[in-house]
Amino acid sequence: MIAVGLPLSILGSLLHWPVVMMFIIYSLTIVALASYMGRATESIAVHTGPRVGGLINATFGNAVELIIAFFALKAGLITVVLASLTGSVLGNLLLVMGLSFFVGGLKFKRQKFNVFDARHNSGLLVFAVLVAFVIPEVFAQEMNDTKTFALSVGISIILILLYLAALFFKLVTHRGVYQSIEAGGGHSGEEHETAEWGKKKAILILLLATLAVAYVSESLVHTFEEVGEAFGWSELFIGVIVVAIVGNAAEHASAIIMAYKNKMDIAVEIAVGSTLQIAMFVAPILVLISIFFEKQMALVFTVPELIAMVTAVLLAIAISNDGETNWFEGATILAAYLIMGIGFFLL
């Protein structure tokens, strides 16, 4: 896939192939590279042990979204960046979680996952989306741009600090404290995992894949305008649906595979953990990076984006709060994603 996609990406951009075709090639290449990055991160995590591994996973887990958003930000496409953040939240929380519950539920009648983690994550989702995203939106109505950006910077710093505190809590002060009892056996097995690649090879692959993603992402970002015109898609729709699916394809695949293997703890962790990374790490980092760019990005979403995220969080909490899933809960979450997709398409 990469062996074909990467050369095609370079060749196509040199020979000025049709933009829509290049958009598809770039997208598929990024999806393939992202899966390599995921495998490399996992290998490194096995070599370094769970603490450093958890940290690396948390940092590189959404590297692709971060890279795409970085180049969109550099190109001044603030609307697309905010939309892609919205789309990543909706995609992880509704599409990934919904598909996991649905596909897993087709095979198993009832699936369980760790309630402690689900509740810990509920609190953070409410904090990140309902407090940290809603407050600047509402307060910005009565502020000028300078104050709005100042508020965004303040909130971004708080978000990143709390994200680091969450890692410290999970990996240091409360490691293993909230393990569910039945997971006990699986836990010891986890540490004996063998790495796919050696440490040095994994680091090399991770670096090369990241560089390649960066190269392709920069090209991808510049196709958005023409692709939008060709298909009649708005910038918002491209950001919320298209970029989000490309940027999160790797997580989607692994969460669904885990659900199908009845490892719901991991499936839910991927879906919700990824959402939290986007909201508490990727989004605020982008706000802070934008200080050095021509156009600053305040943490102010459009009202449809914000309401979609808020209702997605409330739905995810209402459905996941009991620590059990079935196919119908998956269908409900997917129906919510579909409704929002239609909404953003028509907007």
One-character DSSP codes across 246-268: HHHHHHHHHHHHHHHTT-HHHHH
CB of 177 to its own copies, least distance (A): 7
Choice between 33 and 94, CB closer to its own copies: 94
CB of 33 to its own copies, least distance (A): 34
CB of 139 to its own copies, least distance (A): 4
Q: How far apart are CA 284 and CA 46, in angstroms?
A: 29
Choice between 21 and 347, CB closer to its own copies: 347
CB of 237 to its own copies, least distance (A): 12
Choice between 142 and 294, CB closer to its own copies: 142
49 closest CA partner among 170, 191, 173, 171 = 191
Tell me phi and psi for residue 111, to 5 degrees. Answer: -120, 140
Choice between 74 and 120, CB closer to its own copies: 120
Which residues is 324 bridged to in the sheet?
Answer: 112
Q: How far apart are CA 216 and CA 210, in angstroms?
A: 10
Choice between 145 and 193, CB closer to its own copies: 145
Choice between 17 and 168, CB closer to its own copies: 168
206 closest CA partner among 82, 5, 53 = 53
The three-class DSSP label of residue 325 is strand
CB of 269 to its own copies, least distance (A): 17
Choice between 17 and 139, CB closer to its own copies: 139
Q: What is the dihedral sign for C-alpha 91, 296, 131, 59?
A: positive
Choice between 28 and 166, CB closer to its own copies: 166
- Going from the C-alpha of 171 to that of each of 189, 277, 305, the distances in angstroms are 18, 15, 33
Q: How far apart are CA 115 and CA 92, in angstroms?
A: 19
CB of 110 to its own copies, least distance (A): 7
Q: What residues line the site for its own copies (CB under 8 A)?
A: 109-110, 116, 119, 122-127, 130-132, 134-136, 138-139, 141-143, 147, 150-151, 154-155, 158-159, 161-162, 165-166, 169, 173-174, 177, 303-304, 307-308, 311-312, 314-315, 317-319, 321-322, 326-329, 331-332, 335-336, 338-340, 342-343, 346-347
CB of 3 to its own copies, least distance (A): 41
CB of 59 to its own copies, least distance (A): 19
HSE, side-chain direction, 13 A CA sphere, residue 195: 20
Q: How far apart are CA 11 and CA 30, in angstroms?
A: 16
Element of type H or E holding 159: helix 145-168
Three-state SS string over 73-117 comes to: HHCCCHHHHHHHHHHHHHHHHHHHHHHHHHHHHHHCCCEECCHHH
Tell me phi and psi for residue 4, to 5 degrees. Answer: -95, -45
